Each structure stands twice: as structure tokens, then as C-alpha cells.
Amino acid sequence: MNKQLEIVLKPVLKENIWGGSRLVSEFHYPQGETDKISGIGECWGISAHPNGDCEVAEGPYQGMKLSELYAAHRELFGNLKSPVFPLLVKIIDAADKLSIQVHPNDEYAKEHENGSLGKTECWYVMDAPEGAELVIGHNAKTRQELIDMVQAGRYEELIRRVPVKKGDFAQIVPGTVHAITEGLLILETQQSSDVTYRVYDYGRLMDGKPRKLHVKQSLDVINVPDETGKEGLIHAQELSENEMHSLVDCAYYSVWKLNVSGEFETQQDQPFLLLSVIEGAGKLGERELKRGDHMILPCGFGKIRLSGQMECILSAPKEA
């Protein structure tokens, strides 16, 4: 196979009631349709999902949507069998807290959500204010206790709060109650799915009305007892340089942290590799890279030469 070049995409920004202004002010992501500066909660950096299908920004496939490229040139993606591009990488800027939510697994989503994928996701904390906490897991011991607590609105007792710092990492499996809280900046790697069941929204109003809750679906899919480990976090602050450190390896994806200092070389031996720069700056070959850049290193990319001083999150798909 000929040497393939990196695939650079135009990110898609999303407006959310809890969104902040950092994606525009700090990352300088182009705003596309929206002229808003604040209230931008998400940057979908690598996505072929119908709710935010990134366009190829340059090169021979310029102008194609990632979903089209995946359909027409599967060889670039290691001839993966998945009918849809399986992963989605986004940066989340939470100026306010997100609703407490839960995602279904593949089986439940297929049956109840029009054949959609379920959602396993993971978070790398890019920034966190002093004293920040994530919601991961719950305290109900039985399903009846879960139902009683939800019906009585005893959410503060139900949810598990975990202290979190910049550089922490969490894997969120389907059925896990979770929420990102205010002030956090997170890089999320996930199955390409947009199915979220809102358990509780703190009584917030949007356009004068509370957002819809999905209590029945939530109670169907929440794992009881909770399956999250004691803490539910990996601390990835002190990692050696120029080495791929595995953060998670599950049925859907592998995710690594890489701290480049000087020069680092490796081989692209995955169906494809997703690269996001989360701190610092450097180069991929001759291409300048900066914080917030996302790209796909396709099958046939060959040798990866990274240089500079930068922190990267990489991921690759897995197939059953």
C-alpha cells in the first residue's frame, strides 16, 4: 500500500446550556454556523456521527465528510468491518455542570434507539479547578433502592462524587451514572453514539422549561450494584516521556497518553490511529502541531515521527 498522509478534519462546535467560551477563546476553533462565543460546550474533533460529521479540511479527500470517506475508502481504515466509523473524539468545556446521565449498551440502544450504537466513553481531564469532583457511579445497593431514591429525588445521596485533578482519566462503561461538573475541560474518546439518558438535571430550565428526563430508560440501564471500582480514576500525571502509556484497553477502543519531549518515533500498526494534542506544541513530520489539533493517521501511514514538547492522547478502534 502507498504511504498515506494524515487526515485533517474541520471540527464541529456544539452549543450547550452548560457550555463555556474556552473552545473559541483558548483553542481558536472556527465557529462554523454559530457566531456565539460562549455557550459552546463541545468541539467534535474527530467524528462521522450524523449529528456532527466532520469534513476533511485538505488533501485529496478535501470536502468529503468523514462518514463518506469511511464508506468509500475503507482501506484507509484498515478495512474495518464496522458499518459506521466507530469512534468519536471531542473536547468538552463545562462552564456549568452537565446533567447526571447514563448511557445504554449496544444491545439496549439497538432495540430502543433505532439501531444506534451504545456508548462506552472515557475522559482525560485536561484542566480542573481546585476541589473539582466528577460524578461516577452510585450508592444504591439494590434496584428497589435505586428506584426509591430516584422517585424521592434523593439524588445527592444516590450519586458518588470523586475528587478529580488535571491528568486524571476515567473509563465510563454503559450503565454507569456519571456527570462532568463545572470548570472541567475534558477530552472524551467514545463509541460513535449520541444516546444519553438524563437522570437528573438539577431542576435547570432551558427556554423556560426543564429539559426532558429519561427516568424509565435510566432505571432500565443503570448497573446495580454499581460496577465502578473503588475510585474509578487512573492518575496519569507522572508518566515517562516518549512512551505510549495505555490508559484503557476495552472491547471498543484502546487509548494511550504520550508525552513527547524532543523526538519520538513509532510505527502506525493499528487499523487507524486518532491523535489529539492536548498540551504544548510540536510537529508530526513537517506539520506543525498545537494544542487542540486532532487528526487521523490512517492505515498505511507508516512511520510516525513526532517532535517538540507536547502531550497527546491517541486512540485506536477494536473490533469484536
CA neighbor of 247 nearest in space, from 77, 159, 60, 122: 122
Burial class (CB in 10 A: 0-12, 13-18, 19+), 182: middle
Catalytic, out of 160, 198, 287, 291: 198
- What is the signed CA dihedral for 260, 262, 267, 272, rounded to 10 degrees? 40
106-111 contacts at long range (C-beta below 8 A, 24 or more positions apart): 106/174, 108/174, 108/220, 108/221, 109/193, 109/195
Identify which of 197, 171, 189 has the alpha carbon closest to the alpha carbon of residue 104.
197
- Asked whether the beta carbons of 280 and 56 are under 8 A apart, the reply is no
Read off the DSSP letter of residue 6: P
Where do runs of H (alpha helix) occur along 73-118?
Answer: 106-112
Residue 306 φ/ψ, nearest 5 degrees: -110, 145
Task: Mark whether 22 is an active-site residue.
Answer: no
Find the radius of gyration of the CA atoms of the chain.
Answer: 19
Give me the phi and psi of 122, to 5 degrees please. -145, 155
Element (H, E) at 149: helix 143-151
Nearest to 317 by CA among 86, 143, 79: 86
C-alpha cell at 6: 494524515
Active site members: 198
